[in-house]
Amino acid sequence: MIEMITDGKKRDAFARIWDACSDMAGYVQMHFDVAERKHYFGDDWDCYPDDSYGYYLASCKTDSTAMRSIGEIADSADVISMMNTSRLDHSDEDNIRFESFLTFRHFLLHVLKIFEVEENEAEVVAKKTWSGELIDDKKLIQRFEAVFPRKQHVGETVERFGLCLLRCRF
C-alpha cells in the first residue's frame, strides 16, 4: 500500500502512523515520540486525531525518500538495539502496556469496513454489502485489493485510510 503514495514525506507520515497503530500492546499515543504525541493528540494526549493529512506532515521529522528493504530494516542498528533491550519498562509510569484481544489483522479488517462506509457511504448503505459479510482475516489481502485497486490517484485514498486507521486506533 505504501508504494501507492508517491510523495516521500507523505509516505514517511503514513509509515509512522501505520507503525504506531500496528503495535496493539499499548495506547497508540505511546508509539509516537513526545513532540508528535502533543502535536497529534494535544497536551494531555486526549484530543481526537485531526482528519487533515497536512497536519501529520508538519510534524514528520524524516526527509528520507529512499525505500529500504526488509533485510535492511532488520539489519539496522535500531532494530538490533531494540531486540537487545526489554520492550516492557515497568519504571516508566507513562509507558502503560497491555495485551489486546484483537490482533492487528482483525483490527485492519474492521478499519477497512469503516473506511469503505466513509468513502462510499451512499453506495454501501444502498447495497448493504458491508453488513452481511463476515470478517475473515484470511481474506485480508483480497479485501485490501478490492478497496485499493492499482489505479491513478489511489495514493490519496491510501492517505485517507492512514488517517482512518489512526482515528480508529485512538
| Sign of the CA dihedral with 153 first, then 154, 159, and 161 last | positive
Q: How far apart are CA 143 and CA 15, in angstroms?
A: 20
pLDDT at 110 over 50: yes
Q: From the CB of residue 120, how many other CB atoms can be counted at a distance below 10 Å?
A: 15
Total number of domains constituting the chain: 1
pTM across the whole model: 0.62
* Residue 69 belongs to some domain of the structure: no
Question: What is the per-residue pLDDT across 6-47, written as a single tens digit (0 to 9) for each?
Answer: 778 888 888 888 888 888 888 888 778 888 877 777 777 677
Select the more confidently predicted residue: 92 or 150: 150
* Residue 85 belongs to some domain of the structure: no
* Residue 122 belongs to some domain of the structure: yes
* Residue 14 belongs to some domain of the structure: yes
Residue 141: predicted pLDDT: 78
Q: Which domain holds residue 17?
A: 2-60+98-169
* Residue 22 belongs to some domain of the structure: yes
List all residues 6 or more positions away from 25 whose beta carbon is below 8 Å from its beta carbon: 87, 97, 98, 99, 100
Residue 159: predicted pLDDT: 81
Residue 84: predicted pLDDT: 46
User: Residue for cell digits 513526545?
Assistant: 34
* Best CA proximity match to 1, nearest among 116, 163, 168, 148: 148
Q: How far apart are CA 57 and CA 10, in angstroms?
A: 6
Among 89-93, 111-115, 135-139, where is mean pLDDT lowest? 89-93
Cell of 25: 500492546
Residue 97: predicted pLDDT: 60
* Residue 24 belongs to some domain of the structure: yes
Question: What is the per-residue pLDDT across 35-83, written as a single tens digit (0 to 9) for each?
Answer: 887 777 777 767 767 666 555 555 555 444 455 555 555 555 554 444 4
Helix (H, G, I), strand (E, B) or coil at 75: helix
User: In one letter, which amino acid is 51?
Assistant: D
Cell of 7: 510523495
**Surface-to-core class of residue 154, CB atoms within 10 Å of its CB (0-12 exposed, 13-18 middle, 19+ buried):** middle
Question: Quick one: average pLDDT of 134-142?
Answer: 70
Helix, strand and coil in the chain, % to nearest 5: 60, 0, 40
pLDDT at 130 over 70: no
